[in-house]
Amino acid sequence: MKNPDNIIDQLALHEGVKRFPYKCTSGKLTIGVGRNIEDMGISDDEIYYMLKNDIRRVDNELNNAFRFYKNLDPVRKDAMINMAFNLGLTRLRGFRLALKLMETQDYEEASMEFLDSLWASQVGQRALDVAHMIKYGEYPNADG
């Protein structure tokens, strides 16, 4: 850490820098450099900053996990990101047949395989949207 010669360094030194939530001395759920998330929450800008970082992380995970991923069009990549974001990479890997169909570019069958799952019954419209993206390579029409 730098010398505490400005307010950022001084607050980081005095408050500590925590990547994971913890209870502060007042018993409030806190993260980062003394951010009381229990009372203050986070701003919309912070929400979307974290989301963009998470999307980059999931995109990198998918790129490293599946050789076919880098060759997908942007919409089908987004569909895979959506599923991995929701399920995590380990559970996404459980869709062996659907992923094999993605690899062979049989997107219609892959979409049906993803829909024929417990995941699809649990997430409802999300699964229908993702399956549409996989099958057609386009986002679903929001107007229906």
Give the chain's domains with CATH numbers. 7-36 (no CATH), 44-136 (1.10.530.40)
State the pLDDT at residue 104: 98
Q: Residue ranges of the chain with pLDDT lower than 70? A: 1-4, 142-144
Q: Which of 76, 79, 80 has its CA nearest to residue 64?
A: 80
State the pLDDT at residue 142: 64
- Order of strands, edge to edge, in the sheet holding 35-36? 18-23, 29-32, 35-36
Say how far apart CA 57 and CA 80 lie, in whole Å: 13
pTM: 0.87
State the pLDDT at residue 23: 94
